[in-house]
Chains A and B, each alone.
Chain A
């Protein structure tokens, strides 16, 4: 598989393989532990790891059943939008954005141009602490990301095979019929 866009390779029919990432069981458990620790240290109600397209890789939530899928799409959209603002201002990048509420705030930061780390925390926690601890967690997640990229090719071969593709096509035809 192509680890990221710049390394995409051509597959059958002349199409490029999509940029994709395969997260293994072991790495996901590691990620989950890091998110949980960050949530405990910041008293965060939610800590999410997203990819920049808005897909939720992992989430830790102390309480509530929020719509995490929609939350991921909106947060990634807001971050992506802020990067366009940075470009207009001539700023190289906004590495983090803070959305401040009365009861709850959200801090989102970028990890290696590919992932977003999101912490939702209440007014009892100082934003400076969240930024410092998020930075620490990001450093550790960068190492995980490196390993995920290295191991993705082999892991994907085990999942996406001819039978799988055929079954997905049949499901698409069945569910999305006229």
Chain B
């Protein structure tokens, strides 16, 4: 029966696409183990995969890892949402108002290449210690990329759509809600996907200063205690959460509202 045959083909393809990434991870673990054995270093300097898994079990059992992961995720979420709240409206404004763009764009382009980490001293001075300076740094890391990509997305809207809007007497507000916002959704979702990764990278660095929690703090604290296995646990959890964030943002790109350009590739 041809139906069964084609179903089998589909399932086989799916099995392959699911198992190949696991092969990649397995190869990485193998390489890690081989390196540990070949280097002859002690477990304190270069812990092997097995030891790191055991240590991860410890940190999971006593809940430490969850506490730190939640703390990091909270800061990323707060900073990221603030960046969305301010960055996207500003991007729309700059994209629609030529004069605002001419005034503000040079300043934004000037501030953009300054690493958020360069702001650490100022952030600590302004916001003291605790969550606030870390959130501020996350905000900075996401804000400028979001402004710039929103502005570009607004500028790339086909002018025909604005003529259609004028033809059907849309008000200024309707032009924003019915034309501009839906038109930029696909590019903004892509920008969010890239930006959340930047934010996630920056949070670890931000947590190495002025806070007592978070995955960055875990790594720094474990290094001070010479527990490199815990350092590696921290790195692995960061990687895993990063994968999940990226997956979640890709799901966001698949909702119908963001898919109107599907036909245009």
| Bound together | no
**Residues in chain B within 8 A of chain A (CB atoms):** none
